Structure 1
Amino acid sequence: MNYRFQNLLGAPYRGGNAIVVNNTLLISPVGNRISVTDLVKSETITLPCQASSNISRIAASPDGVFLLAVDDNSRCLFINLRRRAVLHRIAFKNPVASAKFSPDGSFIAVASGKLVQIWRSPGFKKEFFPFELVKTFANCNDKVTALDWSPDSDYVLAGSKDLTVRLFCLKKLSGSNKPFLFLGHRDIIVGAFFGIEKKTKQVSRVYTVSRDGAIFSWSYTEKDEIPSPGTPEQTMEVEQTSNVKKRKNSDAIIDEETSTLLHTAKWELSKKNFFMQTPAKLTSCDYHRGLEIVVVGFSNGVFGLYQMPDFVCIHLLSISREKITTATFNDLGNWLTFGCARLGQLLVWEWKSESYILKQQGHYFDVNTLAYSPDSQLLATGADDNKIKVWTVSSGFCFVTFSEHTNAVTALHFMASNHCLLSASLDGTVRAWDLFRYRNFRTFTTPSSRQFVSLASDQSGEVICAGTLDSFEIFVWSMKTGRLLDVLSGHEGPVHGLMFSPTSAILASSSWDRSVRLWDVFDGKGSVETFTHTHDVLTVVYRPDGKQLACSTLDGQIHFWDPIDGLLMYTIEGRKDIAGGRLMSDRRSAANSTSGKCFTTLSYSADGNYILAGGSSKYICMYDVADQVLLRRFQITLNLSLDGVLDVLNSKNMTDAGPLNLIDDDNSDVDDGVEKQTRVKSGYDLPGSMPNRGRPIVRTKCLRIAPTGRSWAAATTEGVLVYSMDDNFIFDPTDLDIDVTPEAVEAALNEDQPSRALILSLRLNEDELIKKCIISIAPADIRVVVASVPFKYLNRLIMAFAELLENCPHLEFILRWCQELSKCHGHSIQQNSRNLLPALKSLQKAITRLHQDLGDTCASNEYLLRYLCSTSSKP
């Protein structure tokens, strides 16, 4: 029950700007969530907070503590990065194109429509009005697109769509306070930056970058004979201010002169340079003041690195053919971060050594299927972009991508060996992948082309079965030879569900012909049992012990069958549980709509006590199988950018022509601002036939619970959501009475009673106390203590061993515990393997991971010792 959101896989980047905090933390928006990647540890996490729609702009404070995230609806979240908690919220009146913290962290500049607003940065203190508006500059004639702060936090550069850059001063000045204008550009301003003098650390120049690939260098002087490129009124203001300065001699006035120098100085255009990438448009840029280097990205996938102010090209390379939507430096300036929203690509490149620090790319389109490895360390995903990606669950990184399929990948299955992955596709092939050598070592085909939508393998790994979409047949191959062994016929509809029994050689298949069939594949008897239903059967799964079969039907019900006796055991009515979320094109509310209220994917827990179900809804339901009750509903997203999230539409957005969101009144140029990404998905979501203007519809296509039972993953419209079990905040004592207290455990340890202390801690079920008792017991007493532990506490004890193996340095000591436990309670564990299966899988996962790490370390040490011995023997 205590599952919490852990991570989002399958999409490292989807648009907006990416930033680097503290040189090593890469922060990027992914839909309405925020992903944080540690570039040193190679780990990525997703913050648990969600915005109301897709996040378009993010900004971080200079110390890396606070994060500002603004979504497409101009709603802002102020987040504490270290605590991963939302501190404050605010809604801006206009769309936000840029936001930036001042170098001292006390102010936030926000480009809200045509306005430049300066807000005082909130802190940890809870306030009724945490955001205080300090100043508003309303001088721009069009939307503000770029902002930059001076090093002293006194000035702000603002670039606008009116082809100008303005210099604003935060301090109150005597006389007129009109901003200085930098003129001459012929396209929209993309970036504006302050340049500093290395010796004096003072602002000496300004760089302005426009979308047509032009970069202008501006320098200032206090001499009167140099003409100003600004307006005549500004020239008169500068002359009047200089005359006033000559008449003032006090130190206070001199300080004011220094602070207002940039605003009153005469700026001149010193140099014009062009990147020469026509017809491509410049889409992103960044400037590093310490190194005086500019990085620019273009709409054709080319990026350039230039040394300023001499405009010397250091690098000019191509990443892809799609638009680069973000390009930024880290604080040291040695790493460059590039993002491509169209490809879901995120790159971190070290430009001096010309090597990749990070290279991640998500699926282009929705993920169709996923599969856990037997040890729960790996997660494989397949999508409509014909690609298969394998992710490390603990780090959230994709380490291999297979792209040999020529059509959508519809099913995945890990073999028991943990190093072989099977995939089925609509291109008519079933492929086997070697996860050691990262290659396709076997391909299974049919005499005539078929479209495969389901996949299964028996426990021994000798037989591979795949169900078809078009011919309604099940094909059976030999894994060793790749030869087609048999074709199972009998279904009269697409075979969308296929699974072997975990304990026998019986194959279960579900079809849209309203039946579930059991097949004896090895004896060649064909269909041995048929379970008929009143509606189309969408999927079928076996319980881990093989004694129960669950299938979902089109009427929203889940049927549980006894595959041995052929009897219907239970039926769960889930139509009302999964109901929720109204499409923009629907003519009735979500409560009254009957379309799509069914489960398309099911997954049993490791012990078989509960089942997860998902479908074309924003909810994932968890049911208790024995009592047929709904335990919990997980809402997969709160993102209003997706269709099917709201239950009731706002009447303010309803017009005579239909919902306001479905009326296409966008007549702007495609290159104007951020290009809208039209996602092409299968079926009725093809361009030209989209009833909701291409807005993705929230749904769950695949669900899988990890073999350890500690986590589960869901392939949704938002990506692959991973939920893990969190025991930190739940107190669940096993056998509690007045004498079972933490003080009693401490007293037993002090009195040298290790068996009593361990049993008391297991009864209390307090994680820290259990681990403390395990560590404090002497190695010579392990066998006696293990023998005294009752069977009902073994599950909790095994889980403690698994957690200690992952975090504790005493490897041999914990393995000694595991060995003695197997010797003393081996017969009981074997008889009750179903109840202990999640804990045993977790222990197996920890031991396997340690074995791999130790094997790699020992192998590297062996070769190093051989090399040292060979070199030391030479004279």
Structure 2
Amino acid sequence: MDSIIVAVIEIFEPYLSEELKAFRFLAVFSYMTLLYMAVFSKLAMNYRFQNLLGAPYRGGNATVIQNTQLISSVGNRVSITDLLKSQTVTLPFQSSSNIRRLAASPDGTFLLTVDENNRAQFVNIPARVSLHRIHFKHGAVHAVQFSPDGKYIAVATGKLVEIWLSPGFKKEPFAFHLVRTLADCEATVTALEWSLDSKYLLVGSKDLTARLFLVERLSEGVTNKPYLFLGHRDTVVGCFFKYSRNSTTPNQAYTVTRDGYIFSWGYGGSDGAGDVDKLQHDEPLSPGTPEKDGEEILSGGTESNAKKRKNHDMEGDDPSSKEYLHKGKWHLLRKDGLMQSPAKVSACDYHRVLDMVVVGFSSGVFGLYQMPDFVCIHLLSISREKITTAVFNEIGNWLTFGCAKLGQLLVWEWRSESYVLKQQGHYFDVNCLAYSPDSQLLATGADDNKVKVWTVSSGFCFVTFSEHTNAVTALHFMSNNHCLLSASLDGTVRAWDLFRYRNFRTFTTPSSRQFVSLAADESGEVICAGTLDSFEIFVWSMKTGRLLDVLSGHEGPVHGLMFSPTSAILASSSWDKTVRLWDIFEGKGAVETFSHTHDVLTVVYRPDGKQLACSTLDGQIHFWDPIDGSLMYTIEGRRDIAGGRLMTDRRSAANSTAGKCFTTLSYSADGSYILAGGNSKYICMYDIADQVLLRRFQITFNLSMDGVHDFLNSKKMTDAGPLDLIDDDDSDAEEGVDIQTRGKLGGDLPGATQNRGRPIIRTKSLTIAHTGRSFAAATTEGVLVYSVDESFIFDPTDLDIDVTPEAVNQALIENQPSRGLILSLRLNEDSLIKKCVFAVSPGDVATVVSSIPHRYLQRLIDVFADLLESCPHLEFMLSWCQELCKAHGISIQQQSRNLLPALKFLQKAITRIHQDLADTCSSNEYMLKYLCSTTTSK
């Protein structure tokens, strides 16, 4: 390092003046600062948000773009699910609160999201960035829709309908431009529908009416009042246009009311006027706007004469207005009842090509109806909770249903009556996480008694275990990657087979206990679980399921258990302010005790087993040497984790001492840094050797949760408590639930919380993948997954004046692949390294690998793993890996701690490819046999 600094000074010294030469130490200081920033960015700033698991849908509407891309809200984020590839990704931007409305442009490029605070974001979907922000200030937004030409956006905000000019691709200081405001509705607007020609807007409202608006402004003196569709007895929750073939002008309309009726309306001036004349007048005709009251269908004469007479009566001497739909006469064709009382209509959608209406009810039932004859095709129950969204895809063969209360998202193909997608997150908070040894799977356990296993790459849950009868508190993957252990408050520890998806073994105790921690040794022979009530540790045999031993000694709940990665020593942490080490196989009991001044909340081993970390109730992290029994370091993290003030707090976030502690810890794969989380909105990353805070990850900026604000506005404090906690929404009253009785019992109890269901942000569990390239956090927002981002980091290893991209290319031209590869590794440019790898012929791989210095092995292994996941040259890359192990096997063993993350990453890539090939071969087994037999016969 000193020689490099001297070299830097010698390079710049000829260009320095005499005055600046006296300040050469500034050059040294600047270089050291840049070097530290490079290391800091590589270690701490290299993680970015990747995905959000655990709850695919949490409310609001969903929309489908490009026929297969399902967009839904996940808290204050947006999730996009590819229904063909079975992959889901969460966009990186956040809203200020939970998103309630979504609208996509017709071409699928832009997305408008509106949250609970009526703050909207205009998003570019392919680029995954937020372009503009706007706040709608006239009331809650209940409906948003782009016009079919993509030029306008209609927003139903309170009683108003605002029409905005849609922003384009260019940057503008004021991107959103308000074109027109429609203020004719007398109550909250609940539904919107554009006509195909983008000239008309059909609006449904809580005032029991639907209105037809002309979007463009007419000349002065010409009336532009909307047409009223009357006769509804409840809120209009859906309104849709119907078109004749090859026409962009609607000739019929449907309105769906909350009490379960579908009204079919016909336009008297359209081609279907003859049908109107043939109606049997069983139902009274709907009156029009006030100035049209008393008009009736003109009878007698030809159809053209009737039209002329009708238009003359309506418009007088202004024949230019006869083409406007809102000035014509609409008639009620039929009124059909859905017959699902007392359930209410909660969601509906219409497909104009198929002429079908799908309706979701508050009872969890949905119906699919063929219009205009109102033929019921399907009437099924998918849950017991209210369906909050129902939508067709573009073709109309798939139906999407969402249930916010269950966190459930379903995509159903109605022709074959089969599920395309069935995803459901955890009903309650996630308590624990566990990565599989190959880092491809992530298991989650929650308060809803369920264990779910997710594929990290796709973000999909592929199996759910629901045998537990109480909250799941701990998870552990066995080293064989095919067995998962779970501990629960129901007094059982269960072993799950990930091949057959079944519970093949259950570990119990003579008397019922509540388990809160779990561990298994490296060999998988012994299972240990700590209890909440009896303060004991139970030990079972994995093979026989018998209870082998009961370890006693703790005087408080055992909330932390972990076996040493290199020995059979078990570490346990308890609320009795101690950490104990146990020798399980020798039966010696506790062999070491580490005492603390406060309750110990969790304990973890470093991957090499030479260090032990535990967090205490006073916000400190203690690092112990388990061999010598000495305290190595102590990190004071109380001020680092401080942040976020609860609505009920009487002190500011900086002065409050309650709950400022770490409840979960996780070492990095190489053991150089540690992640810590707890009852706060922050996840802290510490460098262990220097005991410094590298970075704080803020879990969320979602103001719908408590504990996100650092400072509270005193203007929102009332005599009844914080204004944000006062429930003044009348949605429950509409559902027939008395607000006064809801939560009354909890309010009467002594010490009952005043927070009525408002979640408090916190981190319950943290785990870093064995590859070291990602970590997951179980939070109130769901399971957040962060991964390494290497797209913007320039971190050369041995930079010299001769190490340039031109030198690398020149070495390849001169047929010196070994020299070119070493130069590219020194430059540490990903594209150049891959170019040099592919430039080596298969016969020269062994020679080139043997010439690589040991210090570049980690970078080369990372490149191999990356190429195995992306390039098609499988055999070529596997030969590189094989020759690398042959030539540098001893060095890899000596540097096992530093190379472990890279080797795990390589193992993950090879395992995934092996699984894909095995699945492909098994699905094409008979085709392969046929091809082989055909080749043999020839």
Q: TM-score, normalising length from structure 2?
A: 0.89
Aligned to 1:142: 187
What amino acid is aligned across from residue 167 of structure 2 in structure 1?
Answer: P
Paired letter, 2:171: K
Task: Say which is worse superposed, 861-870 or 276-285, in terms of deviation.
Answer: 861-870
**Contact 1:365–1:679 (CA under 8 A) maintained in structure 2:** no
Q: How far apart in 2 are the matches of 1:723 and 1:669?
A: 38
Distance (Å, rounded) in 2 between the aligned partners of 1:257 and 1:709? 70
CA distance in 2, matches of 1:705, 1:122: 41
Matched, 1:82 2:152: no
| Correspondence 1:252-651 to 2 at 5 A | 253=320, 257-258=322-323, 260=324, 262-651=325-714
Shift of the 182–568 alpha-carbon distance from structure 1 to 2, 3 Å rule, reads same
Report the CA distance shift for 1:146/1:379 in structure 2 as closer, same or farther (over 3 A): same
> 2:301 — aligned with what?
none
Shift of 1:172: 2.3
CA distance in 2 between counterparts of 1:664 and 1:334 reads 40
Decide whether aligned partners of structure 1 residues 815 and 125 sit closer, same or farther in structure 2, where only a CA change above 3 A counts: same
The answer as to 2:247 corresponding to 1:195 is: no
- Kindly provide the amino acid, as one letter, of the partner of residue 668 in structure 2: S
Distance 2:636 2:861 in 1: 36
| Alignment counterpart, residue 848 of structure 1, candidates 911, 917, 921 | 911
CA separation of 1:686 and 1:435: change in aligned 2, threshold 3 A? farther
Match of 1:207 among 237, 254, 261: 254
1:335–1:349 Cα contact (<8 Å) kept: yes
Task: Kindly indicate whether the alpha-carbon contact (under 8 Å) linking 2:509 and 2:547 is maintained by their aligned counterparts in 1.
Answer: yes
Tell me what 1:655 maps to.
718
Other-structure match for 1:92: 136
CA distance in 2 between partners of 1:270 and 1:605 (Å): 68
Q: For 2:677 and 2:452, how far apart are their aligned partners in 1?
A: 22
> Residue 74 of structure 1 contacts residue 92 of structure 1 at CA under 8 Å; is this kept in 2?
yes
Letter of the 1:88 partner, please give it. Answer: H
Q: Residues of 2 paired with 1:645 and 1:398: CA distance?
A: 29
Partner in structure 1 of residue 22 of structure 2: none
How far residue 228 of structure 1 moved from its aligned partner, in angstroms, is 5.8
- Could you say which residue in structure 1 is the equivalent of 2:36? none
Distance 1:304 1:228, change over 3 A: closer
Q: For residue 217 of structure 1, what is the amino acid of its counterpart?
A: S
CA change 1:844–1:866 in 2 (3 A) is: same
Alpha-carbon offset, residue 873 of structure 1:
13
The 8 Å contact of residues 357 and 371 in structure 2, kept in 1 or not, is answered as yes
SS at 1:755's partner residue?
helix
In structure 2, relative to structure 1, the CA distance for the partners of 1:687 and 1:66 (3 Å cut) is farther
Structure 1 position 53 matched with structure 2 position 97: yes
Aligned counterpart, 2:848: 785
2: distance between equivalents of 1:410 and 1:734?
44
Partner of 1:151: 196
Q: Please state whether the residue corresponding to 1:191 is helix, strand or coil.
A: strand
Deviation at residue 679 of structure 1 after TM alignment: 13
After alignment, is 228-237 or 456-465 more displaced? 228-237
Matches of 2:247 and 2:166 in 1, distance apart?
28
Classify 1:672/1:427 alpha carbon distance in 2 versus 1 (closer, same or farther; 3 Å): closer
Aligned CA distance change for structure 1 residues 736 and 329 (closer, same or farther; 3 Å): same
Match of 1:101 in 2: 146
Structure 2 equivalent of residue 172 of structure 1 = 217
Q: Distance in 2 between matches of 1:761 and 1:371?
A: 37
Deviation at 1:406, TM superposition (A): 0.2
Distance in 2 (alpha carbons) for counterparts of 1:687 and 1:416 = 48
SS at match of 2:734: coil
- Deviation digits for residues 292-327 of structure 1 (CA, Å, limit 9, x no counterpart): 000000011100000111101111111011100000
Q: Distance in 2 between matches of 1:415 and 1:686?
A: 44
Q: Is residue 2:855 matched to residue 1:797?
A: no
Q: Which of the pair has more CA radius of gyration?
A: 2
Q: TM-score, normalised by structure 1?
A: 0.96
Q: Is the 8 A contact 1:679 1:696 kept in 2?
A: no
Contact kept? 1:112, 1:144, Cα under 8 Å: yes
SS of 1:594 mapped into structure 2: coil
Query: Separation in 2 of the partners of 1:575 and 1:208?
Result: 58
Give the letter for the 2:49 counterpart.
F
Equivalent residue, structure 2, for 1:185: 232
Q: Deviations over 1:673-707 (max 9, x none)?
A: 9999x999xx9999993332210000000000000
Measured in 1, the distance between the counterparts of 2:508 and 2:923 equals 41
Aligned residue identity for 1:193: F
Moved more, 64-73 or 655-664: 655-664
User: What is the CA-CA distance between 1:866 and the residue it aligns to?
Assistant: 4.2
Moved more, 666-675 or 747-756: 666-675
Q: Render the CA deviation track for 1:397-431: whole Å, top value 9, x for unaligned.
A: 00000000000000000000000000000000000
Query: Are the counterparts in 1 of residues 322 and 328 from structure 2 also a CA contact under 8 Å?
Result: no
Cα separation, 2, equivalents of 1:679 and 1:858: 57
| Distance (whole Å) between structure 1 residues aligned to residue 822 and residue 669 of structure 2 | 26
Q: Counterparts of 1:626 and 1:673 in 2: how far apart (Å)?
A: 61
Structure 1: unaligned runs, 5 residues or longer:
none
- Shift in alpha-carbon separation, 1:757–1:280, aligned structure 2, 3 A: same
CA distance in 2, matches of 1:597, 1:611: 18
> Any residues of structure 2 matched to 1:638-787 within 5 Å, and which?
638-666=701-729, 669-671=732-734, 689-787=752-850
* 2:178 partner amino acid: L
1:228–1:266 Cα contact (<8 Å) kept? no
Structure-1 separation of matches of 2:243 and 2:735:
31
Count residues with an aligned counterpart: 864
The offset of 1:248, in angstroms, is: 6.8
Correspondent of 1:62 among 78, 100, 106: 106
Equivalent position of 2:33 in the other structure: none
AA in 2 matched with 1:160: S
Give the letter for the 2:569 counterpart: I
Counterparts in 2 of 1:667 and 1:809: CA distance versus 1, 3 Å: closer
- Aligned partner letter, 1:582: R
Q: Distance in 2 between matches of 1:745 and 1:731?
A: 17
Task: Say if 1:759 and 1:789, in contact at 8 Å, map to a contact too.
Answer: yes
- Structure 1 residues 779-831: Cα deviation after superposition (integer angstroms, max 9, x where no partner): 11111111111111000000000000111111111111111111111001001
The residue that corresponds to 1:216 in the other structure is: 263
In the alignment, residue 67 of structure 2 is paired with which amino acid? N
Q: How does 1:806-821 map to 2 (within 5 A)?
A: 806-821=869-884
What letter matches 2:92 in structure 1? Answer: P
Change (3 A) 1:104 1:667: closer
For 2:778, what is the secondary structure of its paired residue?
strand
- Post-superposition Cα deviations, 1:213-263, rounded to whole Å, max 9, x if no partner, equal 0000000113899876213413589989635878578xxx4xx643x1x11
Deviation at 1:202, TM superposition (A): 3.1
Residues 808-861 of structure 1: CA deviation (Å, up to 9, x unaligned): 111111111111111111001001100000000000001111111222223333
Q: Which residue does 1:231 correspond to in 2? A: 289
Question: Alignment partner of 2:621: what SS?
Answer: strand
Q: Unaligned 5+ residue runs, structure 2? A: 1-43, 278-284, 297-308
RMSD: 2.4
Q: Distance in 1 between matches of 2:179 and 2:823?
A: 60
Q: Write out per-residue CA displacement over residues 536-562 of structure 1, whole angstroms, 9 at most, x where no aligned residue.
A: 000000000000000000000000000
Write the deviation string for residues 591-626 of structure 1: whole angstroms up to 9, x where unpaired. 000000000000000000000000000000000000
Amino acid of the structure 2 residue aligned with 1:190: V
Distance change >3 Å, CA 703–CA 340, structure 1 → 2: same
SS in 2 for 1:826: helix
The residue aligned with 2:5 is: none
* Distance of aligned partners of 1:612 and 1:149 in 2 relative to their CA distance in 1, 3 Å threshold: same
CA offsets 1:363-389 (integer angstroms, 9 cap, x no match):
000000010000000000000000000
Q: Distance in 1 between matches of 2:318 and 2:254?
A: 33
